[in-house]
Amino acid sequence: MRFTKRMLLTAAIVPLVAGLSGCASSFIDVKKGTERVSVADANQIAACQSKGKITVSVLAKVGFITRSAEDVEANLLQMARNNAVDAGADTVVKGESQEFGKRTFDMYKCRP
């Protein structure tokens, strides 16, 4: 069997792209204090003070490989928690997702 340049290039690139897509979640910074940020439903924040709204986005595809929905959602939530800490919020509520890899979150201060 004879290997062509194209076959060798494909054999080299596919594992690289697959490896990068698996590592994409580790590129999200975890800020101190995010472990205290809760996720709530919209009906649970009546007594909370609004701290604003944030739209976050993460890498949804690496090359031609689409990342798993669970990994993308976990990254979006981590970014929302990071922003909540910066805004002085302790609770986030998932909002709209206009496209895969992008979501809006409302931020609230619910605890004293």
Domains and CATH numbers, the chain: 5-109 (3.30.110)
Whether pLDDT at 22 is above 50: no
- Summarised one tens digit per residue, pLDDT across range 68-111 is 999 999 999 999 999 999 999 999 999 988 899 999 999 999 99
Residue 17 pLDDT class (50, 70, 90 cuts): very low
Kindly state the average pLDDT of the residues 55-61.
Answer: 94
Residue 63 pLDDT class (50, 70, 90 cuts): confident
Q: What is the pLDDT of residue 98?
A: 86
Residue 44 host element (H or E): none
Whether pLDDT at 15 is above 60: no
Cα→Cα distances 99→22, 71, 82, 94, Å: 21, 15, 21, 14
Per the confidence metrics, is the pTM higher than 0.85? no
Cα→Cα distances 103→19, 40, 77, Å: 25, 15, 9
Confirm if 80 and 34 have CB atoms less than 8 A apart: no
Cα→Cα distances 19→13, 25, 62, 95, 100, Å: 10, 11, 10, 31, 21
